[in-house]
Amino acid sequence: MFRSFPRLFHPLVFKRNASYRRFGSQPTVSFTRLFQSRYTLYFAGSCIAFYLYNLDEAPFTKRRRLLWVPYWLERKVGDYSYAQIMAQYKNQISPSGDPNYLLISRVMNRLLASAVDNTPDPQQAAHVRSLDWSIHIIRPHGAEEPPNAFILPNGKIFIFSSILPICRDEDGLATVLSHELAHQLAHHSSEQLSKQPIYLALSTLLYMATGISWFNDLLIAGLLQMPASREMESEADRIGCELMAHSCFDVTRAVDFWARMGAWEQKSQKATPMLEFLSTHPNTQKRMADIRSWMPALEQIRESSDCYHWKSFSDFHRNFFGKR
């Protein structure tokens, strides 16, 4: 009389259908097994050997750093950057008749001659002489660009006209140009490129451990990238001041230049309050204090360069620039 029905809730069926599986779950990484793997040890050993083999000594300051990017690649990066900058400012380059070109070339010739004569590395000196040095003054149209200047790894020099009033004279201009030249003599562009794989590897490992990308990027920037950038900026200040002293410029005027730059920052409200560990540059007051602390050594360099005799200027007649 009673019709039998199939058992819809068979124990095995119910257990299988009721089991919960998290959507999108991924297998976890066993860091213990990863670090105990012999391949990991081989890779780590190779990285350490690569790091030690490519340790380089910065000129003048003798700072040890990782540097594996060759000169030719550094120059290629400069060529690429040069093409981009010229495309951006091609209609804002001051014509060759601008008298500031003569002023800038005169200062740069003295600095370059000093760099070639005082670098302890013959390969470095040959590299400086081999570059196709040229100067470009940028006079922005419309909105005024902040005062700036930079030198690319291929020897192309860019100076915004807005920085010239702050420089005021040859010593102020030498402060700016020697700093930018120091970046190239120390190959800071190559140093930054050399460290990028390390930052990428650390970011990947931190993401595997935390799963949070923005925090990892902030951590790496605050603890590694920004301090390294500030260190290179301070190093460029030191090398630049030594170049000024060797070239018989008045290094005490470098402090005056940074005082004027600090006044411009305050006036234009560019000196925004920022945590030190998030800044790529040392603050202006620290730079002035550093230069003052270096002054005794810089004065000795200037005196040893025989700057108080006319014969000391005989080497500054060398021209590193072609006819414009």
Q: What is the pLDDT of residues 225-280, one digit of tens each?
A: 899 999 999 999 999 999 999 999 999 999 999 999 999 988 876 545 555 556 88
Q: Which residue is catalytic, options 180, 233, 235, 242?
A: 180
pLDDT of residue 234: 95
CA nearest 261: which of 251, 252, 270?
A: 270
- Mean of pLDDT values over 290-316: 78
pLDDT of residue 274: 54
pTM over 0.85: no
- Mean of pLDDT values over 17-44: 59
Residue 57 DSSP symbol? E
- Mean of pLDDT values over 146-170: 95
Has 276 been annotated as catalytic? no
pLDDT of residue 38: 75
* Pairwise CA distance, residues 278 & 274, whole Å: 7
CA nearest 198: which of 72, 73, 78, 66?
A: 66
Q: Is 70 exceeded by the pLDDT of residue 207?
A: yes
226 within 8 A of 278, measured Cβ to Cβ: yes
What's the Cα-to-Cα distance from 139 to each of 95, 144, 263, rounded to whole Å? 10, 9, 22
Q: Is 80 exceeded by the pLDDT of residue 57?
A: yes
* Pairwise CA distance, residues 313 & 151, whole Å: 25
* Pairwise CA distance, residues 186 & 58, whole Å: 6
By DSSP bridging, strand 55-57 and strand 156-160 are unpaired
| H or E segment and range at residue 44 | helix 38-53
Torsion of Cα atoms, 240 then 245 then 250 then 252, to 10°: 70
In terms of residues, how long is the chain? 324
Lookup: tokens for 274: 């920022």
- Mean of pLDDT values over 83-97: 93
* Pairwise CA distance, residues 290 & 195, whole Å: 26
Place of tokens 């690319």: 152
Mean pLDDT (the chain) is 83
CA nearest 180: which of 137, 226, 140, 233?
A: 233
